[in-house]
Amino acid sequence: MIKEYIRLIKARGYMKRNIPFLYSWHAYVGYELDLYEAFKKPKTINEVATENALKEDLLVRWVEVGGVIGYIKQRSKQRHQTVNRFMVPSSKNNPRSTGVLLKEMMELHIPTLINYPKLMKSTEKENFNQKEHGMVIAQTSSLLEQLAIPRVMKVVKQAKPKTLVDVGCGNGGYLLKLSQKFPKANMIGIELNEEVAEEAQNKCEQQKQINIICENVLEWKPDSKVDFVMLNNMLHYLSPKEREKLFRNIGKWLNKKGTLSIVTPLHNSKHGGPFSSVFNSFFTAFENLYALPSETDLEELAKAAGLKIKKMKPVIKEGGWYQFTLSK
Ligand SMILES: C[S@@+](CC[C@H](N)C(=O)[O-])C[C@H]1O[C@@H](n2cnc3c(N)ncnc32)[C@H](O)[C@@H]1O
C-alpha cells in the first residue's frame, strides 16, 4: 500500500515539475505561427484559423492552454485575445523578439536531449547543421551580447586598440556597438557562415571602419599585427586541437601589448552549473560541436598563445558565462 502511494507521489512530482514546459511550449507555438499577434485584437478561433490556414481543432487546444496559463483571455462567447503579459514573446516580425530563444530551445536543444538514449547506444553522433541553424543561433547570441557588452566595452576602453579582430563575429552586433564607441579603430570580423556574414555585412554597412570576412578563422591571418582580439561564444565550435591552433595563431597575430578578450560559458564554473551542464550535454551529442572549456583548459590555451589570464568576471552568473582578459 505504502509502495503504491509513493509511486503515485513520484508520478505526480514528475507531472508537476513538467508544468513550466507548458508555458514554453505555448510561447514557442505562439511565436512560430505569430498567434499572439493574430489574437492581438479579439478574434474567433475560426477567423484566425482561416486567415492563417491552420487546423482549427489544434488551434482550439492552443487557445485553451493559453486560457489556463493566462496568456490568452476569452473576451466574449466566441472571441479570444492575447493578454499583455511579460513572458508572452513579441511578434516574429520584431527582430528583437525573445522568441528566437524559444525556437533554439524547442527545435534544437530539446530534440537533441530527447535523442540521448538513442545516441548513447549508437556508434554515431548528430551532425550540427550550421547552414540550417546559423541564423537563429546568431540571433540568440545577440541576446547574450546585450548582457556582455558593457564588460567588453570596458576592456576595449582600457586597451585603446587601433586594430581589433572579432573571431566568429556572428551578425556583427559586438562590432557595430564597439565601432560607435571607438570610431577610430579598424575592425575586422571573421565569420564562417555565409548567410550570417552577409547579415553582419548589411548591419555594419554604414561603419566604414568595419571589414567583414567570410572565412574559416583557422585558415585566416591578418596582414599585420593587431592590438585586440575578441572571441565571443565560439569555442564550442572548435575541437581541442583546433582551439590550440587558434590560440597559437592569436598569440602570433597580437602585438606585444595586445589583448585577447573571451566571452564563454565555462565548464565546472562556480556559477551557472545547471545551465552549463545541460549546454555541454547538448554540445557533446554532436560530432562537430565540443564541450565547453573549463578554467584550467583556458589557462592551458593561454599558455599555448604565450598569454596569461589577467582578469575573469562573470557576465551572466545564472548561465555560467564569463569574460576573460588575456595579455602577454
Ligand atoms: C554562437 S555564434 C556567436 C556570435 C558572436 N560572436 C556573438 O557572441 O554574438 C558563433 C559564431 O562563430 C562562427 N564560427 C564557428 N566556427 C568558425 C570558424 N572556424 N571560423 C569563423 N567563424 C566561425 C559561427 O558561424 C557562429 O556565427
Percent of the chain with pLDDT over 70: 100
Q: For residue 132, what pLDDT band results from cuts at 50, 70 and 90?
A: confident
Q: Is the pLDDT of residue 26 over 90?
A: yes
Per-residue pLDDT, 148: 94
Q: From the CB of 216, is ligand 1 less than 6 Å away?
A: yes
Q: Is the pLDDT of residue 201 over 90?
A: yes
DSSP conformational letter for 287: T
Q: From the CB of 170, is ligand 1 less than 6 Å away?
A: yes
Q: From the CB of 139, is ligand 1 less than 6 Å away?
A: no
Using the CB atoms, write b or e for 99-119: b if 16+ within 10 Å: bbbbbbbbebebebeeeeeeb
Q: For residue 136, what pLDDT band results from cuts at 50, 70 and 90?
A: confident
- Asked whether the beta carbons of 53 and 46 are under 8 A apart, the reply is no
- Report pTM: 0.88
What size, in residues, is the chain? 328
> Ligand 1 pocket test: which of 234, 242, 316 has the largest number of ligand atoms within 8 Å of its C-beta?
234
Query: CA 144, 145, 149 angle in degrees (round to 5)?
Result: 130
Q: Is 41 exposed, middle or buried (0-12, 13-18, 19+ CB in 10 A)?
A: exposed
- Asked whether the beta carbons of 262 and 326 are under 8 A apart, the reply is yes
Per-residue pLDDT, 270: 83
Per-residue pLDDT, 162: 97
Residue-wise pLDDT for 161-178, tens only, equals 999 999 999 999 999 999
Candidate from 103-112, 235-244, 250-259, 314-323 with smallest mean pLDDT = 314-323
Q: From the CB of 28, is ligand 1 less than 6 Å away?
A: no
Q: From the CB of 230, is ligand 1 less than 6 Å away?
A: no
Q: Using DSSP, state whether 209 is helix, strand or coil.
A: coil
Per-residue pLDDT, 271: 82
CA distances from 45 to 33, 49, 56, 285 (A): 14, 6, 7, 40
Q: From the CB of 235, is ligand 1 less than 6 Å away?
A: no
Residue given cell 585566416 in the structure block: 220
Q: How far apart are CA 189 and CA 268, in angstroms?
A: 30
Q: For residue 193, what pLDDT band results from cuts at 50, 70 and 90?
A: very high
Percent of the chain with pLDDT over 90: 88
Contact partners, residue 127, CB within 8 Å, separation at least 6: 286, 287, 288
Residue 17 Cα to ligand 1 midpoint, Å, equals: 34
**Atom 8 (ligand 1) nearest CA:** 232
Residue 238 Cα to ligand 1 midpoint, Å, equals: 10
Q: From the CB of 189, is ligand 1 less than 6 Å away?
A: no
DSSP symbols for 124-149: --B---HHHHHHHHHHHHHHHHHHHH
Domains of the chain, start order: 2-93 (1.10.10.10), 130-327 (3.40.50.150)
* Average pLDDT of the segment spanning 88-111: 93
- Asked whether the beta carbons of 128 and 157 are under 8 A apart, the reply is no
> Ligand 1 pocket test: which of 167, 191, 232, 288 has the largest number of ligand atoms within 8 Å of its C-beta?
191
Q: How far apart are CA 147 and CA 152, in angstroms?
A: 10
Residue-wise pLDDT for 252-291, tens only, equals 999 999 999 999 999 988 888 888 899 999 999 999 999 9
Q: Is the pLDDT of residue 117 over 90?
A: yes
Task: Give the number of the atom of ligand 1 that is nearest the alpha carbon of residue 141.
Answer: 9
Candidate from 130-144, 233-247, 256-270 with smallest mean pLDDT = 130-144
Per-residue pLDDT, 37: 97
CA distances from 127 to 111, 153, 236, 284, 290 (A): 13, 35, 14, 11, 12
Mean pLDDT, the chain, rounded, equals 95
**Atom 9 (ligand 1) nearest CA:** 141
Cell matching residue 162: 587601433
> How much helix, strand and coil, in percent to the nearest 5, is found in the chain?
55, 20, 30
Per-residue pLDDT, 48: 98
Residue-wise pLDDT for 299-313, tens only, equals 999 999 999 999 999
Q: From the CB of 141, is ligand 1 less than 6 Å away?
A: yes
Query: CA 164, 292, 169 angle in degrees (round to 5)?
Result: 25
Q: From the CB of 176, is ligand 1 less than 6 Å away?
A: no
Q: Is the pLDDT of residue 179 over 90?
A: yes
Residue-wise pLDDT for 34-64, tens only, equals 999 999 999 999 999 999 999 999 999 999 9
Residue 66 Cα to ligand 1 midpoint, Å, equals: 36
- Asked whether the beta carbons of 212 and 169 are under 8 A apart, the reply is yes
Task: Give the number of the atom of ligand 1 that is nearest the alpha carbon of residue 145.
Answer: 9
Q: Describe the crossing of helices 295-305 and 240-253 by its angle, rounded to 10 degrees.
A: 40
Per-residue pLDDT, 322: 94
* Average pLDDT of the segment spanning 92-101: 91
Q: Is the pLDDT of residue 109 over 90?
A: yes
Per-residue pLDDT, 154: 97
Residue given cell 582551439 in the structure block: 243
